[in-house]
Structure 1
């Protein structure tokens, strides 16, 4: 079972659309327009990620209490560093990673590339200032991995993980 959609507030829906459809190549397929129970009204835009069961959605608010001052960076809103709350999309190959990295660079976005030794990721920021990631699982999970994870649930007396094997930063050429 996966999730159906992730819904986030947006301050600049035109910038969101340009990024998620133009750069990410997710297709805008639906909008719901409704009154908000606490006042005002909103447009709820749905972008198809790969099929009709996986979407990312954004709220454009109109006269909604707090809508003019909402913090759209989900980590900043929670008071934590950007890396804590982020949006990660799956990718099925290193060729896919290479393609997405180049799309981001061609769009003028900086890219961070990290080999986590069990998955491989690229990161950039979206117009809401959220960290977005494409991630490819490259390793297998062992019984020892599970036992360590279970131990970490109930104890802080566990070793810090090794730093990622490789980190690269790519600046856009334009």
Structure 2
């Protein structure tokens, strides 16, 4: 049995924009597009993206399902009133060079990306998807060592909401 994530489930109010972003902009394969009927009325649309390594992101969009509000905040952080870094999803990139290439690719596609951020043994940049969900792309710059498991470090407050 493989340990780790199977998938992360998220929601959207605009599935077409979500598909466009995750499939066309980020390059993830759409592996399922299902309609789920709800006995009490309405339905859900579920779209699943393969993000690699046997892991997936599943998005749900509600259509006239009783007691599901039409205007909830899909971005999580803003609704909770916390910085963008508190709830985010980090996607691995193999090397620091591949990370820079991915950042440049997204900039060329018109995506708003943060500066490269160095923290601990990694380097990252951040984007928001159409649902205002914070995504981190990260690459390891070195192996973890004993100093990474304990201790403390300092960051600027701006790093909690990384945007250019």
TM-score category by the smaller chain? 0.7 to 0.9
Q: Secondary structure at the match of 1:111?
A: coil
TM-score w.r.t. structure 2 length? 0.83
Q: What is the distance in 1 between the residues matched to 2:147 and 2:100?
A: 31
Q: Does 1:130 align with 2:133?
A: yes
1:13 to 15, 19, 33: 15
Q: Does 1:50 align with 2:52?
A: yes
Who is 1:100 aligned against? 102
Q: What is the distance in 2 between the residues matched to 1:118 and 1:38?
A: 50
Q: What is the distance in 1 between the residues matched to 2:44 and 2:64?
A: 8
Who is 1:89 aligned against? 91
Q: What is the CA-CA distance between 1:118 and the residue it aligns to?
A: 1.3
Larger radius of gyration: 1
Who is 2:31 aligned against? 29
- Number of residue pairs matched? 156
- Report if aligned partners of 1:117, 1:139 keep a CA contact under 8 Å in 2: no
Q: CA RMSD in A?
A: 2.3
- Report if aligned partners of 1:43, 1:60 keep a CA contact under 8 Å in 2: yes
Q: What is the CA-CA distance between 1:134 and the residue it aligns to?
A: 0.7
Could you say if the C-alpha distance between residues 163 and 8 of structure 1 is closer, same or farther in structure 2, counting changes exceeding 3 Å?
A: same
- Report if aligned partners of 2:126, 2:163 keep a CA contact under 8 Å in 1: no
Q: What is the CA-CA distance between 1:39 and the residue it aligns to?
A: 4.3
Q: What is the distance in 2 between the residues matched to 1:103 and 1:144?
A: 34
